[in-house]
Chains A and B, each alone.
Chain A
């Protein structure tokens, strides 16, 4: 293809997106579009899977049968999200094994929030309320993203995430209205998860890279700072409803902006965790790698068995 031909294809491609048409797997797409989508979508899939670990940590210790069932179902939903996101990413010409390989070698990232430990039951409430809450803010705009398989996966995922958020809030509400010890547990969880949740919405706009291109492709519709503000404005009244205090002494309603002003985020902590030195990075990665390596013989057996069955069928057919 000549350069002029490529240019014209790219023009048509950009126009289609501008008209809100969806790009489908068989359509022509610029190499950069494919690569960027593989990166973002696989990172999203990995986040779902690694995200199972901090909550999975409390399944065996859930305080009641009702909570245990709800937590199992939630973690299972996250596995389901991982599954559709991996499948959606596979349509771009990468295999699930390759994506796992990238995760396990540290080439691919996942959401840093999952590198914090879940130390009490209240963390199940805080994660649902804040982490799923921030995820929704990040993801709702993606329901209209340009790549068809991703947009469709996100519609399904977002519905379940809102359910998780309500469930998390309900755990917090029960604790906040419980005994002093329970309320203290809830406050402690909020103290620990608040700042990492704000960081989940990404670095500030002045340091954030590839935003313009992503906006054009509808991979991003609002800047990180706007999303963060939206999250804060939505969450502060919920904390008030719970009677819990957000651990930010600079948090204050700003009448002229009709938004909350908030304190300085510790970006050093953010980059430390992103670079692999958060409290749980090594533990999370080891859990994923162990599951994969210990599962190798099982996957091999399934393949060998399928092969034997195929051969048997062929023999019968002859």
Chain B
């Protein structure tokens, strides 16, 4: 492949949306209310829409006969580059919301920067996606405040989710070799530049939600190099089931 770095860079972006979209898709029909059910499904839909644009572009760059579905469903576990945060399970609605919130704040800042890329296709995808993501961020922020500053039980559950998921936040700002190569070409976003801004945003909402900001300085990473938590394998066995069981067919 001529442009392996760009290809990997695109996968790095899109895999986050793929895996988070898949997680949200597990919840459809099981939400705490009809309204939240519809909203979470909607976010999942938006994310999969973005995924398709990214993978279609990646398939074009690969220049062989691979399709968006091959990229989405026929890689091995070590070849997915999403951050660990998005693969974390839907332990309860607090985990779902906190995971969403911690990702949305990042995603919004990321897409804001991606609109300045030298790559016109990425700019177009970013421009379309940021409108959707600004809605996701509003949804997760509002719910974080409701859950944090709701009842004693909701506060306790939400604080637990914040404490457990916090360890996955720093990885959002880790840059891979493909990222660095693309940054130097003016195509990729240098995520390290908005790290301070990210934590400022996150901390402000946590404070408003009357939640404590975790003090732990121990963080997990690995997803961007394809070293995942044990959760991902199970998620992939669902995601890939049809493509693996019935290879080379059209649906």
Contacts and interface: CB of A to CB of B under 8 A. Distances in A.
B153 A72 contact: no
Contact of B28 (A59, A171, A300): A59
B251 A60 contact: no
Contacts of B150: 300-305
A68 interface: yes
A31 interface: no
Nearest to A175: B251
Nearest to B68: A65
Nearest to A298: B32
B92 A60 contact: no
Interface residues of B, number: 48
Contacts of B151: 297, 300-301, 304
B30 A291 contact: yes
A141 interface: no
Interface in A54-76: 56, 59-69, 72-73, 75-76
Contacts of B235: 60
A298 B33 contact: yes
Contacts, number: 139
A179 B249 contact: yes
Contact of B52 (A69, A174, A298, A300): A69
- What does DSSP make chain A's interface, helix, strand, loop or mixed? helix
B125 to A, nearest CB: 15
A150 interface: no
Nearest to A124: B251
B145 A75 contact: no
A65 B28 contact: no
A60 B238 contact: yes
A65 B93 contact: no
Interface in A283-301: 287, 290-291, 294-301
Interface stretch (A33-41, A77-85, A211-219, A265-273): A77-85
Interface stretch (B39-47, B100-108, B190-198, B224-232): B39-47
B242 A66 contact: no
A73 B45 contact: yes
B29 interface: yes
A227 B149 CA distance: 53
Given A75-B41, A83-B38, A305-B145, A59 B25 contact: yes
Nearest to A56: B29
Interface string A10-48: 000000000000000000000000000000000000000
Contact of B26 (A59, A75, A291): A59
Contacts of A300: 150-151, 153-154
A52 B29 contact: yes
A298 to B, nearest CB: 4
Interface string A158-179: 0000000000000100110011
B251 A64 contact: yes
A121 interface: yes
Contacts of A63: 69, 242-243, 246, 249, 251
A297 B157 contact: yes
A308 interface: yes
A287 B246 contact: no
A241 B81 CA distance: 44
Given A79-B28, A300-B151, 5 more contacts: A60-B22, A60-B26, A65-B69, A80-B38, A179-B249
13 contacts: A60-B26, A61-B242, A63-B243, A65-B52, A65-B69, A67-B251, A79-B38, A86-B34, A291-B30, A291-B32, A295-B32, A304-B150, A305-B147
Interface of A: 49, 52-53, 56, 59-69, 72-73, 75-76, 79-80, 82-83, 86, 121, 171, 174-175, 178-179, 181-182, 287, 290-291, 294-306, 308
The 4 closest A-B pairs by CB, nearest first: A295-B32, A301-B150, A301-B154, A63-B242
